[in-house]
Amino acid sequence: MKKVDLKMTIKNAFTVDVEDYFQVSAFADTVAVSDWEKKEMRVEASMNRLLALLDKHHVKATFFTLGWVAERYPQLIKNLAQQGHEIASHGYWHQRATGQTTAQFKEDVGSARKLLQDLTGCDVHGYRAPSFSIDRTNEWAYDVLLEEGYQYSSSIYPVSHDHYGVPDAPRFKYKTEQGLWEVPLSTLVMNNKNIPISGGGYFRLYPYRVTSWAIKRFHDKDAQPYIFYMHPWEIDPGQPRQQGLSFKSKFRHYLNLGRVESRLDKMLQEFKWSTMADSLDL
């Protein structure tokens, strides 16, 4: 019997966290929210560059969009929806869910969803917490998301990490006790440990051949859609360099930015891609 080529039969989810380079959590101690307006904004140009690449490969993606960005670039968000991409929410202010009260979180996710829906005329079903900041300490967030009209979250990374992670969480789509779908980021199990294989940082860190191998192994072992995510600033090697960062933050943010576009080109061609809603039946 001929072996099925899973890499071209499994529909993977291509997702983007739409935020500008100065809004990342790693810069929170050096770039105040009150200074965001003073920064050179590059998200629109980065998004257009990324969209051209997706269009080249006829790929529709899910864009977890900050309300702050959507308010300043409404036509960009309208165009995404008109082009058939899925619009989802990344909250309004890119604040960690673990650092908010219930009322603050409700305002943040509610205002972001309303804005995105008003701009696009489409229902917004998905949410991703900044820095994957839903964990065992704030599962009340799922109640709030349901109250605000969301149907799924992609806010759990089942790994050990210094900024996030729930290593004992399920590895694949599951219903939370509150009744919301949660779609964790993709991992490989090696030596009884979850190894991260999803995300722009790991995509920049690993040589492309390692990423390709990891996705194929994930398909072979688990036969599940692979969840990829990145940020628009990761396709922008010319972005301004932030001062006052630790070595770790500099390494994580600026590593191999100039190699991302060519690697994406290979990955988009090698595997099959779609939105979260389509790939995961959400």
Query: 86: which strand partners?
Result: 62
Q: Is residue 1 part of a domain?
A: no
When pLDDT is cut at 50, 70 and 90, the band that residue 1 belongs to is very low
Q: Is residue 111 part of a domain?
A: yes
Q: What is the Cβ-side half-sphere exposure of residue 272, based on CA atoms within 13 angstroms?
A: 12
- pLDDT score recorded for residue 162: 66
- pLDDT score recorded for residue 165: 74
CATH number at residue 140: 3.20.20.370
- For the entire predicted model, the pTM comes to 0.95
Residue 4 confidence (pLDDT) above 80:
no
- pLDDT score recorded for residue 212: 98
Q: CA 243, CA 222: separation in Å to the nearest integer?
A: 42
| Beta-strand relationship, 193-196 and 187-190 | antiparallel
**Amino acid at position 121, single letter:** G
The answer to whether 184 and 172 are in contact (CB under 8 A) is yes
- pLDDT score recorded for residue 215: 98
Q: Is residue 37 part of a domain?
A: yes
Residue 128 confidence (pLDDT) above 50:
yes
- Cα torsion for 174, 191, 5, 204, to the nearest 10°? 80
Q: CA 108, CA 103: separation in Å to the nearest integer?
A: 9
Identify the residue with better confidence: 278 or 246: 278
Gyration radius of the chain's alpha carbons: 18
Based on the number of CB atoms within 10 Å of its own CB, is 256 exposed (0-12), middle (13-18) or buried (19 or more)?
middle
Q: What is the mean pLDDT of the chain?
A: 94
Q: Is residue 41 part of a domain?
A: yes
Q: Domain tally for the chain? A: 1
Predicted confidence (pLDDT) per residue in 204-255, tens digit: 999 999 999 999 999 999 999 999 999 999 999 999 999 989 998 899 999 9
- DSSP state letters, the chain: -PPP-GGGTSEEEEEEEE--GGGSGGGTTTS-GGGGGGSPP-HHHHHHHHHHHHHHTT---EEEE-HHHHHH-HHHHHHHHHTTPEEEE--SS---GGGS-HHHHHHHHHHHHHHHHHHHSS---EE--GGG---TT-THHHHHHHHTT--EE-----S--SS---TTS-SS-EE-TTS-EE-PPPEEEETTEEEE--SHHHHHHS-HHHHHHHHHHHHHHH----EEEE-GGGG-TTSPPPSS--HHHHHHHHTTGGGHHHHHHHHHHHSEEE-HHHHTT-
Predicted confidence (pLDDT) per residue in 165-214, tens digit: 789 999 999 999 999 999 999 999 999 999 999 998 999 999 999 999 99
| Beta-strand relationship, 126-127 and 152-153 | parallel
Range of 92's domain?
6-279
Q: Is residue 219 part of a domain?
A: yes
Predicted confidence (pLDDT) per residue in 13-36, tens digit: 999 999 999 999 888 888 999 999
Q: Is residue 174 part of a domain?
A: yes
Q: CA 176, CA 216: separation in Å to the nearest integer?
A: 28
Q: Is residue 227 part of a domain?
A: yes
Residue 164 confidence (pLDDT) above 70:
yes
- Token pair, residue 54, equals 């997706």
The answer to whether 244 and 251 are in contact (CB under 8 A) is no
Residue closest to 128 by CA, chosen among 153, 147, 104: 153
The answer to whether 104 and 111 are in contact (CB under 8 A) is no
Q: Is residue 63 part of a domain?
A: yes
